[in-house]
Structure 1
């Protein structure tokens, strides 16, 4: 039983300031919140009460920095980054805030002295599942790095009541459960009802003339939803800057209709509330149905409209001319989800603020920049014209006007090239007509960037080639990065301690300084210490695996890990073919010097993606056979870690030894998991895809396990006419492995269960698994041989970490700030709350225009 459950803490008898960072001050704040915020005393307080009391105490220590930052920004009106993203996968806040405040050790010690279990308190926090994977995690890393760089920033998104589903595995299948992350409340957010905005939907448009005879358009909408902001502080690392994550919740303009209730229609009395709040109920409603498509489009427009209205409010209360809007806000579109912002800003400027079209368009195109995150054509959003017109009739008119003016420019630039006009049009006219959201983002933005060198080149050569030929100056690359504060300092304290002891702690905000570790790779004592850190991390990961799955794994086996969204192009099933190959070799008496391995998988399949869900079933079915076969279980273990998320990642990345980055070359935009693994000393087996290429360049080809076709070779193979069965016929081991799956060996004799996977591989194999199979198996044999030499493997691990400095999100946002947003740091000075409280709301002095 934990200390939390058995010990009633002693209340310290000391008075201290509310923002004190001393241990005694923190203890006092803890008990103040337990008593006065939660209404509990220690004897009746549960684990979650203790967590909430600590979280509120820590939040108090962010508020002075947060308010001072807001006051400085309001007074000085610096250019502010507005990061629009449908996902912010933040992870738990408490540990990260303690790291950034610089009080992690003090709080841990204070909690220990109160007789509580610090690790148990951290585990109480419900993780906000406000993202699906890399996109949302990148947004979280970026706003961490922007605060650390002291750049004024607001992250704008959606406060989903239910985040990405909670994944359980039942009989080997993924089952989606409701993610109730708000069931105990969220101590980090503040509801700002006074800044709520109205969002219009549906209806039709009407033309009218003003007093000067000028023609205008009025949107006669048929539905209104309120957008209410919820703000959370985003702390920079050991700086005063604290930026804002502003997430919008949909609410009804009238939550309860009393007259309808009095007529006895009790459900009807709250129908508007239910309908309105559906907008922000869940992350990514399944858009396979017409209703799902409609809800998803409304959801995206809702948060974009709320955010732009909020920016205009901030701009105007500063008494700044509307014509300067683009000088004060740099808006980043994180993928196509917020692309409707281009049309919405035009609507707000032209319709609501009566600005001339040309002036509004100039401001719009100077304000927006667009990050593309995909090379998959099906992931470039497009909306049926009928649906778009029904929900956003005024925006469709604006898009038509943008398109007409844009295509006139295309005709002048490429005279007579009618096919190019068809390809570039914002409206897809082939078959059912669609609005192309990536095209809207490209036309309305001053900069378009990819997220890895290969990805950016492939955008120019293929997906956005016509736009590149139209505006080559718009295109650039910013390779993704991840924050070392969460993904090393917080998640891997043992490695952080060893590194800091060896080269100092400047690397935490200047990651290229990790290069100083490389010279220590030759030191046998340092290698011993490095191996001990890794083994202790593996013990922690083994404990997590046992706790979550019941499977016991050996910490001395190689931990071979693949955690990412389940998708055919990411090729989890290629890794399964390798496991089946090893299993077949062992059972055939050809195991040789096979290193014992623990294969760890994790990731979620989209609820409507049936093939991805079948791949999860394949993984778990192979695991059932392998883990229960006494002839192989000392050599192979297979684990599927359910509900992989940020919290689990903080244990998985430090414990991993081999990072599986095996997507088909030319399909992965960048990847960020590959960076987290490398930072924490895992070696990569991977293709020349996404940021793998840059990781290999940085760590050296000799420290990276490369296999498979290049993106160019993939294109050549497909252009010649790819025949996967040729590779099947030519490789006896591949035939044997697929035969095991096909025969029902891994499915209790059911030959139909995995038939879609096998037939897909033999029939068309869109992601070239069979073509890359032999290369992958040979590469895994090199991995096996390398792992047998523990000293050499450790040197490679150290070199991977030492050369991962390029993959910090601090570097990424510095490039955005310098080359795209044109913003710089604005350091924040702390002021006493008495000074801020004494300022008049409309005074003339310092902070005089601050109205918060």
Structure 2
């Protein structure tokens, strides 16, 4: 901990307390890791020095004080004088200095939570896409102005230091970014919460494009230059076991019991991150777990000359937290994914039970103290883990353990795609977690007895609802396990929750209708408006005050200004400033010139066929073909810059083929003088949170064009609308709620509805009939198929074209003409800039509902029963 200033001017370590949420866990004594369970050692002797009783306070909040703190950090922690320091030295010193200003809040929050405990939220998520931390910390701590002046006084470029930070890519997309938004909101609302996840050594891959536009995955070594925002706690490690077998034994009272005899173990090392609330003196904790071996080094083997085998155990253990979502098309990859999931939930639950709770806590009251939120199916193995602890370690009977477990979990489903609902092979679960498989079978037997009693003679329903699937292989349906054990099951948008009840988990919703609810997703306005879009944020604040940053519904006060000509002009000026910033980045990094007076048409999201980047590409090709064929003159086309941002999963072949085709089309279109000044296609590599914060504020048009009934919610659609982009979209996910709030006249709706999609697929969808009947579509696909964009090589595009015409699972061709018609409405609307600005302002004003603060209040009111203190 840093020394802090006190009135006496002395330097001291003030009120040293356990780290936030006081994580301490039992680690069995081993030669390499002796037990360090501080809580079990009993209370420390009363401090004798009066300074030890001084409450934790941060350093002085002045420019001179910050400069002193910064130079001390640079000199004595980084070991570098300013004149000889590198940019990385300077950034690390800045991050750690800013961190020191937050630590008093962190310590005091933890102390207050221990002294005045309330029900805690344990947020279990395999993904957290945090984004860069420096600006977030500056914003939430209200230090930005001081730091800007301090760095200027030292002759340092703050923007250069900002650019040095590497964001931790600990997630694939929306799921991880949502988790980060949620923990931000819970800190801002002063809700007792700790987020649990995995400290992947390598996050989501760094995307690189080959010269011909193919995606290549490079390691995301985000830790290479240091991780100044984390606090490692190796003395609070947790032992996690795998493999082995189970056996029956008699306990001390002669009662027959079951126990697990593991085959091997690893240690989970916690790394804590502060999650500061927005200027409220609160800092919650995000705890990420890293795996290491219990016996990391075999000296005897090393001395014998077998250097590789001497560290084999450490290498094997570290694989668990090595890479975000190892490619799982192989048995080894699937096994590693299950290891990851069990590892982090086992660490987290043991950490809470043995660290936060007192030794004599009555575990029957556990549901009053904690609710574990399962963020999708990845953490669902936590359910049998808690049962195992209560049964095997605390000696409870089955009914007692189940009564507790079934009140400690809530489950959020984030998908409508059957393939995204995890089903683990039973033999894999049995090999890795034999005791857990027994417990799952026990839960299933108990549950199926209830189903049979409720629906006598309906064995088809029994098989459909069983946690254990028998075909096509014997597997554990994790969504079914969650639905059985959770107190509540929620979808993430109104339409998604409806489809979850009516299609995905329909039998469970009929059995327990009161268990199912909806919480529409939200995004944090701090990062995605206040921080990412400073021009717009300043305009809003100067117009209605700054209360909107904590209460986004206050944006409603902007509605009257949509009819104010001066405000509309100021709004357009803010948008131009964001476009110019993005254009500057594009020019510096990719030698691209983006005309800022063009419509910025943005489609940024994970690359998946159901999101239909291919439909957007067909629109581009159609526009291009209409110009080069002479059907229209360039002057008749609304000038557009189409911006993509997307990564494809390494094993997703078709998604990677689509990325390749987009890049090939972009290369041809951008080089063709016939469309110069009218159409440009940009696809920057390695889309991430940092790039999103640059692209989203610059967007005019938000592409939300998934096939109706496939997108659970989306959060990119919310971010874009809040930043003044109009949406072109289907009635899917949260688009439904966006359109209802902003009004049909301020939304470009197209495409089949979910019931129409279901009807068409039920009747037998024939993509060829749409191709044959639509000359515009034929010309666009024909131009692609001819090899026009691939140097005459038709084989490159053959898989995409063939799949479109033969299968088209996501009805791209069926929605093509409706999409073109909607884009024609976009062109007409953009031609009237005043009217467009009015619609964009109303989008901002009416989308305050999509704050993650509101989403958290919904979770608290409908699911958690936690306490809000702010």
Which TM-score tier does this pair reach, normalised by the shorter chain? over 0.9
Give 1:672-687 correspondences, 5 Å limit: 672-687=715-730
Pick one of 228, 246, 254 that aligns with 1:187: 228
Residue in structure 2 matched with residue 264 of structure 1 by the alignment: 305
Per the alignment, residue 745 of structure 1 pairs with 788
For residues 761-818 of structure 1, the C-alpha deviation after alignment (integer angstroms, 9 at most, x for no partner) is 1111100000000000010010011111110111111011111100000000011011
Structure 1 CA distance for aligned equivalents of residues 192 and 718 of structure 2:
26
TM superposition shift of 1:826: 4.2
Find the aligned partners of 2:214 and 2:348 in 1 and give their Cα distance.
39
Question: Which of the residues 760, 773, 778 maps onto 1:730?
Answer: 773
Equivalent position of 2:112 in the other structure: 72
Quote the residue 1:454 is aligned against. Answer: 495
CA distance in 1, matches of 2:632, 2:452: 65
Secondary structure of the residue aligned to 2:796 is coil
1:211 Cα shift? Answer: 2.1
Give me the whole-angstrom Cα distance separating, in 1, the residues matched to 2:255 and 2:782: 74
**How far off its partner does 1:570 sit?**
0.3
Q: How many angstroms apart in 1 are the aligned matches of 2:545 and 2:594?
A: 35
Residues 311-320 or 565-574, more deviating: 311-320
Structure 1 residues 112-121 or 562-571, which shifts more? 112-121
Task: Please state if 1:89 is matched with 2:89.
Answer: no
Segments of 4+ in structure 1 off by > 3 A? Answer: 14-18
1:553 counterpart = 2:568: no
* 2: CA distance, partners of 1:75 / 1:123: 40
SS of equivalent to 2:718: helix
Q: Does 1:562 align with 2:616?
A: no
Report the secondary structure of 1:480's partner residue. coil
- Higher mean C-alpha displacement, 587-596 vs 637-646: 587-596
- Quote the Cα distance in structure 2 between the aligned partners of 1:559 and 1:27: 41
2:58·2:104 contact (CA, 8 Å) conserved in 1? no
Query: 1:645 aligned to 2:688?
Result: yes
Deviations 1:87-125 (A, max 9, x none): 010001110011111121221222222221111111111
Partner in structure 2 of residue 60 of structure 1:
100
CA contact (8 A) 1:743 1:751 kept: yes
Partner of 2:794: helix, strand, or coil? coil
Partner residue in 2 for 1:582: 623
Contact 1:350–1:357 under 8 Å retained in 2: yes
The CA deviation string for residues 630-686 of structure 1, in whole angstroms up to 9 with x for no partner, is 111211100111100000011111001100000000000000000000000000000
| Superposition map of 1:353-392 within 5 A | 353-392=394-433
| Distance (Å, rounded) in 2 between the aligned partners of 1:223 and 1:320 | 30
- Which residue in 2 is equivalent to 1:131? 171
Looking at structure 1, the residues matched to 645 and 590 of structure 2 have their Cα atoms a distance apart, in angstroms, of 12
Cα-to-partner distance string for 1:26-61 (whole Å, 9 max, x where unaligned) = 111111100111000111111111111111111101
Match of 1:203 in 2: 244
1:102-157 C-alpha deviation (Å, 9 max, x unpaired): 12122122222222111111111110000000000000000000000000100000
1:277 aligns with 2:318: yes
Determine helix, strand or coil for the equivalent of 2:672.
Answer: coil
Partners of 1:448 and 1:217 in 2: CA distance: 31
**Do 2:612 and 2:812's aligned partners in 1 also have CA atoms closer than 8 Å?**
yes
Contact 1:548 1:641 survives alignment (8 Å)? no
User: Within the alignment, does 1:101 sit opposite 2:105 as a pair?
Assistant: no
Aligned counterparts of 1:178 and 1:745: Cα–Cα separation in 2: 34
Deviation at 1:548, TM superposition (A): 3.2
Equivalent residue for 2:482, pick from 441, 459, 480: 441
Q: Which of the numbers 637, 655, 658 marks the counterpart of 1:594?
A: 637
Tell me if the contact between 1:74 and 1:318 (Cα under 8 Å) persists in the aligned partners. Answer: no
CA separation in 2, counterparts of 1:243 and 1:316? 17
- The 1-side partners of 2:72 and 2:674 are apart by 59
* Secondary structure in structure 1 of the residue aligned to 2:226: coil
2:184 — aligned with what?
Answer: 144
Bigger drift between 583-592 and 610-619 goes to 583-592
Matches within 5 A, 1:277-676: 277-317=318-358, 319-591=360-632, 593-676=636-719
Q: Deviations over 1:287-309 (max 9, x none)?
A: 00000000000010000100000
- TM-score, normalization: structure 1? 0.94
SS at the partner of 1:631?
helix
Q: How many residues align?
A: 814
* Aligned pair partner of 2:153 in 113, 119, 135: 113
How far 1:432 moved relative to its partner? 1.6
Over the residues paired in the alignment, what is the CA RMSD in angstroms?
1.2
Aligned twin of 1:831: none
Q: Which residue of 2 aligns with 1:159?
A: 199
Inter-partner Cα distance in structure 2 for 1:32 and 1:315: 34
The alignment partner of 1:561 has SS state of strand
Partners in 1 of 2:510 and 2:744 — Cα distance? 34
Q: Distance in 2 between matches of 1:447 and 1:711?
A: 25
Gaps of 5+ in 1: 1-13, 828-852
Structure 2 residue 59 is matched with structure 1 residue 27: no
In structure 2, what is the Cα distance between the partners aligned to 1:412 and 1:547?
68
| Contact 2:714/2:734 (8 A) holds in 1 | yes
Listed as ranges, the matches of 1:742-821 within 5 Å are: 742-821=785-864
- How far the C-alpha of 1:547 sits from its partner, in A, is 2.9
Pairwise CA distance, 1:320: 2.1
Tell me, in whole angstroms, the C-alpha distance in 2 between the residues paired with 1:20 and 1:759.
Answer: 66
3-state SS in 1 of match to 2:683: strand
- 1:245 paired residue number: 286
Offset at 1:274? 0.3
SS in 2 for 1:190: strand
Contact 2:118 2:867 in 1 (8 A): no
Structure 2: 5+ residue stretches without partners = 1-8, 12-56
SS of corresponding position for 1:806: helix
* Cα distance in 2 for residues equivalent to 1:105 and 1:510: 23
SS at match of 1:264: coil
- Equivalent residue number for residue 714 of structure 1: 757
The C-alpha deviation readout for 1:541-576, integer Å capped at 9, x for no partner, is 112223333221211111000010000000001000
Contact 1:481 1:807 in 2 (8 A): yes
Question: Contact conserved, 1:77 with 1:318, CA < 8 A, in 2?
Answer: no
SS in 2 for 1:228: strand
CA contact (8 A) 1:18 1:29 kept: no
Using the alignment, how far apart are the partners of 2:307 and 2:93 within structure 1?
A: 38
Matched ranges for 1:168-179 at <5 A? 168-170=208-210, 171-179=212-220
Alpha-carbon distance in 1 for matches of 2:404, 2:420 = 29
Shift of 1:252: 0.5
Q: 1:317/1:532 Cα in 2 relative to 1: closer, same or farther (>3 Å)?
A: same
Q: 1:54-94, CA deviations, whole angstroms, 9 ceiling, x for partnerless residues?
A: 11111101111111111111222321000000001000111
Q: Given the alignment of the two structures, is residue 234 of structure 1 paired with residue 278 of structure 2, yes or no?
A: no
Q: Secondary structure at the match of 2:430?
A: helix
Asked whether the equivalents of residues 315 and 322 of structure 1 are also in contact (C-alpha less than 8 Å), the reply is no
